[in-house]
Amino acid sequence: MKKLLKILAIGLILAPITGKAFAAPEKQKPTVILMEVTKSNGGYWSAINLYDEINYTVENFDAANNVIYAKLSCDGDGFSFCRAPRRAACNAATSTATDNLINSEAIAQMVNKLIEASEQEFQTGKLSGSKTNKSIIVVSGKSKLYFGTASWQYDQNGNGKISIRISEDPTGIASRL
């Protein structure tokens, strides 16, 4: 009986220690990119979406929630399309955490398709709306499914804002394909 009590006591002492040692690793939160596109002062060229100054930057990275904040601003009448470039200008704090994803050509292509969809809707006379898109993108050697959603609001002159949200599929189904 004494041996049984000793074994139980040792088991109760070791159970919390071994439980921590063999705990499953915490799953990383899915990555989300929040982008704000601003179009202004396009003049006559805004009808065909040509602007003078195109600024695309990654503003911030929230490591706790795995969220990347980016901005694309298109201003003035010129000869450049309002599109996200293949490489983003990242500051030192965000470049290491976001380099593989935000600089992905596939992410830029997804963003540009959503911007183009808003421009096509504007040309048909719809000043506001939304569009959803999905794509499988290879990031750091792994396939991941991303969903892109854009909502926009323009005025009669083509000035306005587009909010784009690109989020990773939390189920990770693309990596199993």
- How does pLDDT run across 88-127, given as a tens digit for each residue? 555 444 444 455 566 678 888 999 999 999 999 998 999 9
Predicted local distance difference test score (pLDDT) of residue 105? 81
Cα–Cα distance for residue pair 1/47, rounded to 1 Å: 89
- How does pLDDT run across 134-146, given as a tens digit for each residue? 988 877 777 888 9
**Greater pLDDT, 162 or 85:** 162
Predicted local distance difference test score (pLDDT) of residue 4? 65
In three state form, how does the secondary structure of the chain look? CHHHHHHHHHHHHHHHHHHHHCCCCCCCCCCEEEEEEEEECCHHHHHHCEEEEEEEEEEEEECCCCEEEEEEEEEEEEEEECCCCCCCEECHHHHHHHHHHHCCHHHHHHHHHHHHHHHHHHHCCCCEEEEEEEEEEEECCEEEEEEEEEEEEECCCCCEEEEEEEEECCCCHHHHC
Q: Do the Cβ atoms of 149 and 173 come closer than 8 Å? A: no
- How does pLDDT run across 39-82, given as a tens digit for each residue? 998 777 777 788 889 998 888 888 888 888 999 999 988 888 88
Whats the size of the chain, residue-wise?
A: 177
CA-wise closest residue to 88 among 98, 76, 78, 74: 98
Torsion angle of alpha carbons 15, 18, 20, 22, nearest 10°?
-130
- How does pLDDT run across 9-33, given as a tens digit for each residue? 676 676 666 555 455 445 567 788 8
Predicted local distance difference test score (pLDDT) of residue 11? 67
- 128 pLDDT higher than 50: yes
Cα–Cα distance for residue pair 37/70, rounded to 1 Å: 9
Predicted local distance difference test score (pLDDT) of residue 92? 47
- 148 pLDDT higher than 90: yes
Q: pTM of the predicted model, to two decimals?
A: 0.75
Predicted local distance difference test score (pLDDT) of residue 6? 72
Predicted local distance difference test score (pLDDT) of residue 132? 94
> What is the separation of C-alpha 91 from the centre of its chain, rounded to a whole number of angstroms?
17
Q: How confident is the model at residue 7 (pLDDT cuts 50, 70, 90)?
A: confident
The CB density around residue 13, as the number of other CB atoms within 10 Å, is: 9
Predicted local distance difference test score (pLDDT) of residue 16? 63
